[in-house]
Every structure is written in C-alpha cells, then in structure tokens.
Structure 1
Amino acid sequence: MIYGKRFHHGKRFQFRKGFSLGIEGQGHVEVGDDCFFNNYCSIVSQGNIKIGDGTIFGENVKIYDHNHRFNDITRPIKVQGYSVGTVEIGNHCWIGSNVTILKGTKIGDNCVIGAGCVVSGEIPNGMILKQSKNIFEKIRIISK
C-alpha cells in the first residue's frame, strides 16, 4: 500500500485476507495502534477517516466517508459527483461483522456495533448499537 502522506497507521496494525483500502482525491485515513481488521474489510476515503487505538473489526466491514449525489433527476446519478464528509471511530471499539459505516458517523470510545448494522450519525461513548425487530437500539454499557 503506497499512499504517501494520506495513509497513517499505528503500531501492530493487522488485517486478514481481502482487506481493501481506497484513497481518492483529497482522502486521508488514519488508523491507531493495535487495530485489527478481519477478512474482507474495506475502507474508501475521499474525505477523512480516523480510527482510534485498539479498535477491532469483524468480517466484511465497510467504511465510506462519501456518498453519491442524487438530487438532480435530470442527470444520471453516476455523473453528479459525491458529497464528502468524515468518519470518526473511537478507541477500543468492536465493530461486528457486516457493518456498514457511512459518512458523517462519529462513534465514541468503548462502543460495540452489532453485526449487520448500518451506522450514520453519532454514537456516544460506551454504547452498544444493535438491530432488533427492524429497529436500532442504543444501550449504555454498564461497567463494574
């Protein structure tokens, strides 16, 4: 992976097979120390993605800091360009398998994102996000 000054990773950055990193335009990705990406995870950046220390990712997690524009119905979506934002994932999080993280997402420290969730918006520190009966629930983690 050669991305010059647009990709930085900390110590003990690990990934398994099928890991994909795409940095386009002004994109920038920063991954902290002791992060682990399981099989077939991907990160695609046109803006800014920051991942804190000690965060682990299940299989097939997708992270995007941009989205297609689609507000002009007279033009094909593929020629309307992108809206670009940021993604921030805190320290010591567990992102479950098959999670998709979209632009504008901020996940606090010590969060668990349940398998299969699509995440957009802010998840405060110490929360569990899970899907239950076609709704998403945020549950505060109780510490000892």
Structure 2
Amino acid sequence: MMLKSFKNRIIRLIRRNGASLFPVGRLIKISPDFVVGKYVNINIPNTDIDVLIEDNVIFKEFCSILIFSKGRLKIEKNVFFNNYCSINCLFEIKIGQNTIIGEGVKIYDHNHSYDIIPVLKIYPDKFSLGSVFIGENCWIGSNVTILKGVTIGDNVIIGANNLIHKSIPSNTIIKSGASIIIDYI
C-alpha cells in the first residue's frame, strides 16, 4: 500500500511540473529523494524493464529518460543531471554515485544497425547494443555524448563537447578539443 501511494505521489509530482511519465512496471525502484525539475520526460513504454534510482538523484529541467523493453537503468545515490540531459536505454546504463552530469549530455547504449554492401542501408528499427557504465565520482562536462559499449572508470573528468566512443580508465581527465587526450590525476 505504501509503495502504491509513493508511486502515485511521483506521478502527481511529475505531472505538476509539466513532465510526463508513461506506465511503470513492477521492477522499478525509485527513492523518495528523487528530484525532478520542470518538463522532465520519463518514458517507460513497457513493463519488462529494470530501473533503480537511488537517494538524492536530481534531474533539472527539460531532461529526457527513455527506456525500452528489456532495458536496465541504474542511477546510484547523489547523481546530478543538469538541464537538457538525455538517457536512451535499450540495453543497460549504470551511473555511479557522486557523479555530476553537465548540461546537454546525451547517453546512448545502442546504435542503428546498417549494411554497406551493395549500398548503404540504415535500419531504423534494428540496433546494435552495448552497455554504458559510468563510474563513481565523475564529472561529465556540458554537451558530451557517450556512446554504446563505453566504460568510464571512477574519478574521471570529461571536458565539454567531447564524443566518448572508447572506454576511459579511472583517475583520468579527458580534455575538450581535438581527439581524446588523457591526463592522469
């Protein structure tokens, strides 16, 4: 009974802020400390998912969370998402505790499938999948895009406007600009 009451409270909070929430399933666990800004969209169109959002997770305004069937999303405690962030989860995304996600960050655990022989053909409804793991105590700068199959270690700083398509070891800094440059902390 208490869980149902909490679920209804979350739905009311999200709707009051002009956001949307689609049907939720039994595998969803959201902390009562979950903070949602205005116009945050949480789209969960299927109940065959696994979502865990721990204590003190904050989404500022105009963020989007999209989880598809069989998707697994885990956001550990004390994670902050600035405005205009987007999470698209078809497979698996995990974000470690005490992490800061800058404005406009995009996280994808999938990519469209395609063929190049005999001619280029991109499939809008077929995907290649790969887990995304972001470690603890990370700072992801504004407008960073993180692609499928990437593991970011603990204590990592990623400068603004980077495209992250390779895994990054713990205790490193990824500078903005040209190709990925790693400095060790």
**What TM-score comes out, normalization by structure 2 length?**
0.71
**In 2, Cα distance between the equivalents of 1:87 and 1:33?**
17
Structure 2, unaligned runs of 5 or more: 1-20, 28-49
Which structure has more RCO (C-alpha within 8 Å, separation ≥ 6)?
1
**In 2, Cα distance between the equivalents of 1:131 and 1:79?**
31
Residues 10-61 of structure 1: CA deviation (Å, up to 9, x unaligned): 1001010011100112111000000000000010011100000000111000
Give 3-state SS (helix, strand or coil) of 1:30's partner.
strand
1:102 deviates by: 0.3
1:86 aligns with 2:98: no
CA gap 1:118/1:3 in 2 versus in 1, 3 angstroms: farther
1:77 deviates by: 1.2
1:130 deviates by: 1.4
RMSD: 1.6
Give 3-state SS (helix, strand or coil) of 1:123's partner.
coil
* Contact kept in structure 2, 1:93 and 1:110, CA below 8 Å: yes
CA gap 1:80/1:44 in 2 versus in 1, 3 angstroms: closer
**In 2, Cα distance between the equivalents of 1:109 and 1:39?**
23
* Contact kept in structure 2, 1:98 and 1:116, CA below 8 Å: yes
1:36 aligns with 2:80: yes
CA gap 1:116/1:85 in 2 versus in 1, 3 angstroms: same
- Equivalent residue letter for 1:13: V
**What does residue range 98-117 of structure 1 map to in structure 2 within 5 Å?**
98-117=143-162
**In 1, Cα distance between the equivalents of 2:179 and 2:166?**
15
**What TM-score comes out, normalization by structure 1 length?**
0.90
Question: Number of paired residues?
Answer: 140
**In 2, Cα distance between the equivalents of 1:115 and 1:75?**
32
1:18 aligns with 2:70: no
1:83 deviates by: 0.3
Larger of the two Rg values belongs to structure = 2
CA gap 1:72/1:108 in 2 versus in 1, 3 angstroms: same
* Contact kept in structure 2, 1:3 and 1:23, CA below 8 Å: no
1:7 deviates by: 1.4
Partner residue in 1 for 2:179: 135
